[in-house]
Amino acid sequence: DGGITQSPKYLFRKEGQNVTLSCEQNLNHDAMYWYRQDPGQGLRLIYYSQIVNDFQKGDIAEGYSVSREKKESFPLTVTSAQKNPTAFYLCASSDKRGSYNEQFFGPGTRLTVL
């Protein structure tokens, strides 16, 4: 089955530590995205990538970093510079065949920083 996987589902870290969230897709999609969702809020775009080895900052990129070395993978690192990292993180992908209109989301990672 094609889809997007994110691991782990729940993640706990101590304040001041960097942490990397995994996102893998086997849909052969060109574009991948990272969003942050806080309780009762909408999704805010952190970073997105339209092609391998290229990525763009979204609306709230400060304190985060990404890489896109392979088409299937788009890991997100939450650095110690991110002031309020506790949130629900969602990875998504889309494809030019659908004119990028439809996004497919992974199950999310809930990060708690203690």
Q: Which one of 54, 83, 101, 114 is in contact with other proteins (CB under 8 A)?
A: 101
- Tell whether residue 23 is a contact of other proteins (CB under 8 A): no
Which H, E and C letters describe 11-24, residue by residue?
EEECCCCCEEEEEE
Q: How far is the CB of 35 from other proteins (least distance, A)?
A: 8
Q: Which one of 41, 69, 81, 97 is in contact with other proteins (CB under 8 A)?
A: 41
| DSSP codes of every residue in 63-80 | TEEE--SBTTB--EEE-T
What Å distances lie between residue 95 and 38, 47, 83, CA to CA? 26, 16, 33
Stretch touching other proteins by CB under 8 A, among 21-29, 61-69, 72-80, 96-104:
96-104
Q: Which one of 21, 106, 111, 113 is in contact with other proteins (CB under 8 A)?
A: 106
Q: By the 8 A CB rule, do 9 and 106 touch?
A: no
* Residues that bind other proteins in the complex, under the rule CB under 8 A: 31, 33, 35, 41-45, 48, 50, 56, 58-59, 90, 94, 100-108
